Amino acid sequence: MRTGLHALTASGGVSFSKQAVVISYHSVSNAKRPIRLVRYIVLVGGIFFGVILPGALDAIAQKGVPEGISLPTNLRVRDTTGWWPTKGSAAREQYVGNAECAKCHSSKAVSYEAAAMSHAAVRAEDSQLAQENSLELQLGRYRYQLPNLEGKSSLKVSDAKTSAAERLTWAFGVGHMGQTYLYEKDGSYYETHVSFYAAIKALDITPGQSRDVPASLETAVGRRMPSEEAQRCFGCHTTASTIKGQFDPSDLTPGVTCEACHGPGAEHVAAARSGIPGLSEALILNPRHMDRVDAVDFCGACHRTWEDVLTTGQGLGVFNVRFAPYRLENSDCWKQGDDRITCTACHDPHEPLSHDVGSYDATCRQCHSASSSKSSTGQAPAVCSVETKNCVTCHMPKYEPPGLHSSFTDHWIRVVRAHDSYPE
């Protein structure tokens, strides 16, 4: 009988029977850490009827890893028994696409379409550069141009003797701050040496690349990305670019879709259609049920966890202001252990980012007001004696790292005094 999880994993597709869905509990462990696998018993129309509690799968999604501490994303991806952003373990047929999600979650689908994450990657011909005219940059002896050659967006680099041109395939970034471009050559992806910056509506050096004049025309065009780096970049800017553990961007979905965060949805959709109470909720990941450390690391899979920044050495100095999870976990309020301090306490991932500084005041006052409840640790957060509005303008100042042409809100929440240096 092909029912329950047997049907879920069958190569012929995903289906459920209302007659019997057999799922049981068990756990295994290895020498390093416990791995808890949860399966359920649901006998519909029989003697037993086991109700699957909403969030049950979420509760084990992060198991297989130590609890209560920030972890490097590569360990989360490797050791998590359930879904985790950028994991890439699912087969392509397990993805259903945003349109399928929208059939039940229409309001979230509509609002998310306007969010920057949903447009984290676009085809180069649909990118910001395609809307700009005569983008050029002179860098030492090299002249950069972004022409439209034969109907395709391209990067052309010239010196006094010769030139080189590459057809661009991808643009990463929605374009509110900027966009970086990729091209393919000899089976590898290359990152262009220059990027588009919205604030100046011009080209400048791509973040992370040397500002020195390139040594050759080839390196002036761009740098080759190691395959592991390309996989990570596509993993955070697209959906289903890694299939069954193998990087395969041939049939990816541009942008961060529902399933990039919640996991492949075929089993969830099939369960919802089956009408079995509680089963569909248990077959999709809802990060809302995570504890605060796992929740922030979840966002940190692409925005850098605290451990990612420390273990890789990236983001040193003011450049690490871009890594909000890392900065947040340096805050005193985080260190006090308040469960309310997470990314989603202020940011609804299904909505566009709010740039109205006053819109965050209500969230601040949930903790920092005379009438607020105590934190989960039993402490009463301090109340600001200076102001009761526009809290983030004082306690979360903006910084503009050199060469990025954009300012970033510092998520290291603190009392900032005049002439304070940037804390690391």
Task: Please state the domain extents for the chain.
Answer: 4-117+256-289, 121-224, 316-409
Model confidence band, residue 380 (pLDDT cutoffs 50, 70, 90): low
pLDDT at 368: 84
Q: Give the range among 16-25, 72-81, 152-161, 284-293 with minimum mean pLDDT.
A: 16-25
More confident residue, 161 or 371: 161
Q: In the predicted model, what is the mean pLDDT of residues 76-96?
A: 94
3-state DSSP of the chain: CCCHHHHHCCCCCCCCCCCCECCCCEEEECCCCEEEECCCCECCCCCCCCCCCCCHHHHHHCCCCCCCCCCCHHHHHHHCCCCCCCCCCCCHHHCCCHHHHHCCCHHHHHHHHCCHHHHCEEEHHHCHHHHCCCCEEEECCEEEECCEECCEEEEEEECCCCEEEEECCEEECCCCCEEEEEEEECCEEEEECEEEECCCCEEEECCCCCCCCCCCHHHHHEEECCHHHHHHHHHHHEECCEECCEECHHHCEECCCHHHHHCCCHHHHHHHHHCCCCHHHHCCCCHHHCCHHHHHHHHHHHHCCHHHHHHHCCCCHHHHHHCHHHHHCCCHHHHCCCCCCCHHHCCCCCCCCCCCHHHHHHHHHHHCCCCCCCCCCCCCCCCCCCCCCCHHHHHCCEECCCCCCCCEECCCCCCCCCCCCCCC
pTM of the model: 0.83
Whether 146 shows a pLDDT value over 60: the answer reads: yes
- For the stretch 219-260, pLDDT in tens is 999 999 999 999 999 999 999 999 999 999 999 999 999 999
Whether 128 shows a pLDDT value over 80: the answer reads: no
Name the average pLDDT for the chain: 83
